[in-house]
């Protein structure tokens, strides 16, 4: 009986979590639709502050990881292509890998670790201090005042961080190929020929989608924070883990769609 009791409690917890996430998504969608009718309700000041923390404060780490990613990709791929004397095509490989896949993916993981956890901790602390209950009592929807500015900031921050990481990765690749006697002019000519408009826009579209997921998961974890000693810490952990999992799932679905449509 203890086994069945434990299984029942776990399934009930999963159902409650799914129901809470679905309710949060529905309420957020309703607020976004209402914002289209009354755009003056949007808190631009809070969104600007969250955007500054998510985008500009995250540029150094995104640039550093992007640079190292370009260096690692160059060394690893050049070691194989150099056997055939075609190491110049490392530039094509780096360009396709960064713009289509690795740039948005790695940047989204960084955003989930930095901003997703911050969103959950901020909103979770407010819930523990009963500030969310105070907003509800005054007739101010917490989703409109706390969630929407952060989600919008995450969506707008992702393309900027992604472009910065991709450029840093290309610089790292150019430095490595320069060490292998490939001129920078030839490298950047191959990059310009490989990076077409669809590839760039597709990568930025993925970045915006990943930013939306990070913002929603982080704020949802904060709204569901428990009033316990470790409630805020659990919420931040759930935001990071849930954000990375949702990013991986979305990226896998997009990969299948691109393969099916030959994109």
Residue 28 resides in a domain: no
DSSP state of 116: I
* CA proximity to 128, closest of 222, 18, 21, 8: 222
Residue 26 resides in a domain: no
Looking at the predicted structure, is the pLDDT value of residue 48 above 80?
Answer: yes
Tell me if 50 sits within 8 A of 148, measured CB to CB.
no
Looking at the predicted structure, is the pLDDT value of residue 14 above 90?
Answer: no
Q: Residues 6 or more apart from 247 whose CB is under 8 A from it?
A: 105, 108, 109, 112, 210, 213, 214
pLDDT band (50, 70, 90) for residue 119: very high
Total length of the chain = 263
Side-chain-facing half-sphere of 41: CA atoms under 13 Å: 16
Q: Residues 6 or more apart from 127 whose CB is under 8 A from it?
A: 222, 223, 225, 227
* pLDDT (0 to 100) of residue 3: 67
Looking at the predicted structure, is the pLDDT value of residue 21 above 90?
Answer: no
- Residue 192 domain boundaries: 41-260
Residue 231 resides in a domain: yes
Count the domains in the chain: 1
* CA proximity to 219, closest of 126, 81, 110, 157: 126
What gap in Å lies between CA 226 and CA 58, rounded to an integer? Answer: 29
**152-184 pLDDT, tens per residue?**
999 999 999 999 999 999 999 999 988 888 888
What gap in Å lies between CA 207 and CA 226, rounded to an integer? Answer: 31
Residue 4 resides in a domain: no
Write down the pTM of the prediction.
0.90
Residue 11 resides in a domain: no
Give the pair of three-digit tokens for residue 67.
């640079």
**225-234 pLDDT, tens per residue?**
888 778 888 8
- Cα torsion angle, 163, 46, 61, 224, sign: negative
Q: Residues 6 or more apart from 15 whose CB is under 8 A from it?
A: none
Residue 2 resides in a domain: no
Residue 126 resides in a domain: yes
Residue 163 resides in a domain: yes
* pLDDT (0 to 100) of residue 236: 92
- Percentage of the chain modeled with pLDDT above 90: 44
């Amino acid at each position: 009986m203890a086994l069945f009791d434990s299984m029942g409690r776990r399934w009930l917890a999963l159902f409650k979590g799914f129901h809470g996430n679905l309710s949060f998504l529905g309420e957020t969608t309703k607020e976004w639709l209402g914002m289209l009718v009354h755009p003056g309700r949007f808190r631009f000041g809070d969104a600007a502050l969250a955007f500054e923390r998510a985008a500009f404060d995250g540029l150094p780490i995104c640039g550093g990881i992007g640079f190292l990613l370009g260096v690692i990709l160059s060394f690893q791929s050049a070691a194989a292509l150099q056997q055939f004397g075609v190491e110049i095509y490392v530039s094509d490989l780096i360009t396709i890998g960064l713009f289509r896949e690795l740039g948005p993916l790695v940047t989204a993981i960084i955003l989930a670790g930095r901003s997703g956890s911050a969103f959950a901790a901020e909103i979770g602390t407010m819930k523990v201090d009963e500030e969310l209950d105070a907003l509800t009592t005054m007739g101010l929807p917490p989703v409109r005042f706390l969630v929407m500015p952060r989600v919008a900031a995450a969506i707008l921050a992702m393309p900027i961080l992604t472009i910065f990481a991709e450029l840093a990765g290309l610089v790292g690749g150019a430095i490595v190929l320069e060490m292998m006697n490939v001129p920078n002019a030839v490298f950047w000519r191959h990059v310009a020929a490989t990076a077409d408009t669809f590839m760039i826009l597709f990568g930025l579209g993925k970045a915006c989608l990943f930013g939306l997921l990070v913002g929603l998961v982080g704020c949802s974890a904060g709204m569901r924070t428990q009033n316990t000693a470790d409630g805020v810490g659990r919420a931040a952990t759930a935001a990071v883990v849930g954000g990375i999992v949702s990013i991986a799932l979305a990226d896998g679905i997009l990969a299948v769609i691109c393969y099916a449509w030959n994109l």
